[in-house]
Chains A and B, each alone.
Chain A
Amino acid sequence: MSKLTFARAINAGLRKSLESDPKIILMGEDIGALGGVFRVTDGLQKDFGKHRVVDTPLAESAIIGTAVGLAYRGYRPVCEIQFDGFIYPAFDQIVSQVAKMHYRTQGRVKMPITIRVPFGGGIGSPEHHSESPEAYFTHTSGLRVISVSNPQDAYTMIQQAIASDDPVLYFEPKRRYHDKGDVDETADLSTALSMEKARVVSSGSDVTLVTYGPLVKTASDAAMAASDEGISVEVIDLRSLAPIDFPAVEASVRKTGRLVITHEAAQSGGLGAEIAASITERCFNYLESAPVRITGFDIPYPYSKLEMHHLPDLDRILDGVDRALGRGNSLSGLEG
């Protein structure tokens, strides 16, 4: 067991993958000598060479489009999109090509492409550097979408993503890059928890609190604070956003009868809506109250002086927990 930052844990996972299969190559902007703008690929080009860790020209559609060609040729490209907000030029290649090639060719052509996306806010960045675009991709059939919340998962799940024969979008919470955690680098991929499975971070009996990525830590802190008031919150880290492990969420809600979902992404049409709807369909009779969403607002990502108002924090999450429990909260007395 070693103590690694989130960023080093991804780096270690990438290294392990690169060692395991010569067909795995990394590609992206500034990932070579610089080691990426967040240093996640630090040292990899030096050790594996310029043909395995490829600095590309600055063109996101081309990074993904050439990855499609490389996958056609039998390679397993791991692409880095430098920031969440820069993924849109590649949207067409991801949605129209990467996602659909397997279906289009009736399974003859596989697209084992991993797309790493640093995402989310909280680091005081200018526009385009703090977005949460995951719902665009969870809405696209053919893609697997995962998000990691701690160094161990970051290490294990990047390897699982790369090993997957399906394309995977791997959302890494950039504001957690410097958080440290224990990482078992001897962990066996074949026995590790499947990347499709959610994990109960802390068990509880009063409310189910569902989240992923950067807010898992915030949600855990909120659960701890709630316990001081005698409220028992079960925190679920989804890990996989497409498909979502609904049986895990359902099992929890059947126990607690209450559901709060929190994510940084905007509310309308977001993952919270999908979770609320699906859980309501699956176990309506077990719900004691309406599902509650605590999310970013339906606004463009704001300028950084105001971002902490936009991002769900511990108190907003607790306010949502109170709402689910029918306790006094900021919306008490407001209908609908």
Chain B
Amino acid sequence: MIKSNSGIRKTDVINRRMFIIGAAKFVVFAGIIARLFSLQINENKKYLTLSDKNRIREWKLPPTRGDIVDYFGNIIAGNLKVYQLHIIPEQVENFNYLLLRLKSILDLSEKKITKINKLKSELKPWDSIIVSENLTWGQFVKINNYLYDLVGVKPVMTISRNYPFKDVYTHVLGYVSQPNEEEILANETIQQRFVPGMKIGKLGLEKRLENHLIGTNAIQRYEVNAFGKRINQLEYQKGKQGTKIRLTVDTEIQKSCGNLLKGKAGSISVMDIFTGDIIAMYSSPSYDPNLFLFGISQDEWQLIRNNPLKPLINKTLSGLYSPGSTIKPIVALSALENNVIDTKFKVKCTGKMELYGQTFHCWKEKGHGWVSLKNAMKQSCDTYFYEIARLLGVDRLNITAEKFGLGKKVLGEYFENEKKGLFPNTKWKKNNLGRGWVLGETLITGIGQGYIQSTPLQLCMMTAQIANGGYAIKPKIIVDNKPINLQEAKKSMQREQLHYSDKKLFKNKKNIKIVQEAIFSSTNERFGTSYKSRIDDPKYQFAGKTGTAQVKRISKRERELDLELEQIPYKDRDHALYVAYGPYINPRYALSIIVEHGGSGSKAAAPIAKKLFKLIIDRHDLRNDQSNFEEINI
């Protein structure tokens, strides 16, 4: 009885306490459902995003660079399909055997094999190893033939930069190559679009216009697992090729410049005297930019680096030369403008000039006798220009010279390696050398020696501005959206000078004419320094001024010896210069030629102009008719 009573009481206790537990269970389950609700319903969006972030990964592909074309639309920097060889380690059955086979097929070096093995240990098994960046067609075919035996090997076709004219445009375009870390960090656009294997501009326009040329990445979206392995492709977004850029240059003329300077160190620039378009800009010797695309070999690099003619220097823009006698038109113009002389003014040349005990020699030992401006220019009489420089003073000469572009960058915004050059004046010497100007320095400045330094392109622009009647032009190498023909160019130039006084570089138009005629006589009249290089056909007839820049001071003994060019060591030979414009009637083009250590301007530089002018004038109509320019916004 007691027992059963106890049993019933116990049952009561159990039931009562179970009831409390049951209630608690409801509360706890409700809590769990509330949590589920908050995660799955309230915060669903947030977690869906996180889940997508987990599983979707983007792969950027290298963008395709924009083409660079010449004035006529010929591609001078393009893109080429290249064949590459990739290995996907996880698909390879026997890695060592595969390497052995590849080694024999492709002639891989031991170093390369070690590098591949190192890459293999660093990369994930599903990341591809690039064995060869640029297979020849023959190798590609060979690989495809043996493919059955090469499990895990993937021949890939991709796109690479290509310079079809090889060394012709190297100093204009530069080249592309693998960037280093600093270069990536320096440019935000590159930073955003960089993918391994991508190449960026290292030099020249390729570098300067990087942000226009670069293009946008194609994007592949893959679903990946927790270990980063790609499971399947979800999306492929095409990239946009970089902007196509059209240059003002003419490949035929540029190529011809290269041929004319073959084996020599020097530079040729050709410019449109009205529009400032650079027709050609060649620095010799050049080198093949294609060598840099897949990493240049040490041997080839040493060959370029150690070449005594210094192919790595862009002589057109960074080469600094004494202009020599090519400065004489500016000296004459300055003297005329400042009313120091007139056409009747004459100087007697005895072959030398004494000043404060110092002797200044004319190039012609016997002297030219009495010479006027025209004769002095024609025969390049140094004594005459010593005298008018003395009368003029270096400061007045400096003003004229700077007006015509000496001592200032010509294309500064496009090429970071362009040099400013120097046209001295008294203030400059005081500030920089701390000493006062000496009159003797004025004399040698008058014949383009001394402190004065100029780039070939500056001389070309100077000549162009004399040729176009004395109007300022802004040289350019990229085609803008409104190319104009000769008549329009002339008209707009005259219109502009009415509105902007700084466009007009002269005080009296007659003075320009006098100088032009003097230059003309130098080429086309007997005893002219470049008379031998003249063309009589008025269609091609041009006017030019020679120059011979001394590299070192000629000692008295040397002057007496009067050595032949071949007898002087190469390093000590004079630079040969020539500036010219043509055709003489209705001129359109100006050029400057420099042959380093070429000897005299009349022998080494002027004959090059003769050959080049024919081509330039022949290409003129073609150039004038060129149309269908696309809209480019640079």
* A and B part of one assembly: no
Residues of B within 8 A of A (CB): none
